[in-house]
Amino acid sequence: MIKSSLARKVVMALSGLFLVFFLGQHFVINITSVIAPDTFNSWSHFMGYNPLVQYLLQPILIAGVVVHFVMGFILELQNSKARGVRYVKYKGDANASWVSRNMLISGGVVLAFIALHFYDFWLPEIAYKYIESNPEDATRYHAETVHKFEPIWRMVLYIIAFVLLALHLLHGFASSFQTMGVNNKYTPTIKLVTKIYAIAIPLGFVFIAIYHHLNPITH
């Protein structure tokens, strides 16, 4: 059990950086569904059937998600108790930015989105392979992905989730380095790079969702 507040912050920072790395890797694979469907099928099939990915990396990813958000909720509860009383009047960003003050809200929505994403893609994949015992089909992934974005409500939900993810990353990504003690001449560059990443990657996912909604597969 992690009891130290500093230790919890370090664990949350490390798990956050791990999830940011995964997010970038996830985007690289998913953008190929737009520019190279055959490559998307090939990479998705590899990720779906490679034992190392399935039985080692996937459990680590799930654990990383759980640890990151549990630590975040615990720290937010601690901070709320420590503050005791709220500010009498909020004066713009004099006390804290909107993003930093609402990390729990944006994080909660992102967690709900991850649950939706698992429901949309991970559970059907598990059912396809282990419950229905279907034979391997390395060409099915692109069509299945495009089909998911055909309903406008799902596209809108994904867009909202990625906008909130961007807000979450705008504060959380750079803060992770600060928590790890990185405070030197490279700090301004780190802040700039993390800000670009926090905007560009979620925007890329928004583009993927819109693109597939507007370009359904016709039979």
Query: Cα(151)–Cα(61) distance, rounded to whole angstroms?
Result: 28
Which sequence spans correspond to the domains of the chain?
5-77+98-214
Query: Cα(183)–Cα(174) distance, rounded to whole angstroms?
Result: 11
In this prediction, residue 90 carries a pLDDT of 47
Mean pLDDT over residues 10-16, rounded?
A: 89
Residue 2 has pLDDT above 70, yes or no: no
Residue 88 has pLDDT above 70, yes or no: no
Q: Tell the CATH topology of 5-77+98-214.
A: 3 helical TM bundles of succinate and fumarate reductases (1.20.1300)
What confidence tier does 101 reach under pLDDT thresholds 50, 70, 90? low
Residue 196 has pLDDT above 90, yes or no: yes
Burial tier of 125 (Cβ tally within 10 Å: 0-12, 13-18, 19+)? middle
Distances (CA, A) of 71 to 5, 42, 168: 10, 36, 15
DSSP secondary structure code for residue 97 in this structure = -
Within a 10 A sphere around the Cβ of 52, how many other Cβ atoms? 8
Mean pLDDT over residues 68-95, rounded?
A: 67
In this prediction, residue 203 carries a pLDDT of 97
The answer to whether 200 and 30 are in contact (CB under 8 A) is no
The answer to whether 5 and 75 are in contact (CB under 8 A) is yes
Residue 219 has pLDDT above 80, yes or no: no
Residues 6 or more apart whose Cβ sits within 8 Å of residue 146: 33, 212, 215, 216, 217
Place of tokens 């990443």: 197
Query: Cα(100)–Cα(160) distance, rounded to whole angstroms?
Result: 18
Residue 27 has pLDDT above 90, yes or no: yes
Query: Cα(124)–Cα(146) distance, rounded to whole angstroms?
Result: 14
Most confident of 3-12, 39-48, 107-116: 39-48
Query: Cα(61)–Cα(2) distance, rounded to whole angstroms?
Result: 20
Q: Quote the mean pLDDT of the chain.
A: 85
pLDDT digits (tens, 9 = 90+) for 30-65: 999 999 999 999 999 999 999 999 899 989 999 998
Query: Cα(176)–Cα(64) distance, rounded to whole angstroms?
Result: 15
The answer to whether 20 and 169 are in contact (CB under 8 A) is yes
Mean pLDDT over residues 142-168, rounded?
A: 93
Residues 6 or more apart whose Cβ sits within 8 Å of residue 67: 11, 12, 15
More confident residue, 132 or 180: 132
